[in-house]
Amino acid sequence: MLRIRLMRMGRRNRPFYRIVVMEARRPRETRYHEAIGYYDPIPTPSVVQLDLARYEYWLQRGAQPTDTVKNLARVARRMQTSATG
């Protein structure tokens, strides 16, 4: 089963996350099918960049997002609609 989840990057005490599509049973730091965005929790406000078209594509293919990724997608949609109008 495919999952859309966070992959930790960055260094110690400075986390940075890629939003990736990967097999659910794989360890967090291994190969992934596609990186569809990133999340940087350190700055205020946090930075979320997500390719919503690819996110929807993978959802249609049966990928299950984690709860955190669902919340980040909601934030990304809100940011996109506020930027466009």
Average pLDDT over residues 62-72: 97
pLDDT (0 to 100) of residue 65? 98
| pLDDT tens-digit series, residues 10-53 | 999 999 999 999 999 988 788 999 999 999 999 988 999 999 99
CA gyration radius, the chain: 13
Q: What is the residue extent of each domain of the chain?
A: 2-84
pLDDT (0 to 100) of residue 69? 97
pLDDT (0 to 100) of residue 19? 97
Token pair for 39 = 């999340």
DSSP-derived 3-state class of residue 72:
helix
CATH node for 2-84: 3.30.1320.10
Alpha-carbon separation of residue 7 from 42, 56, 78, 81 (angstroms): 16, 19, 23, 26
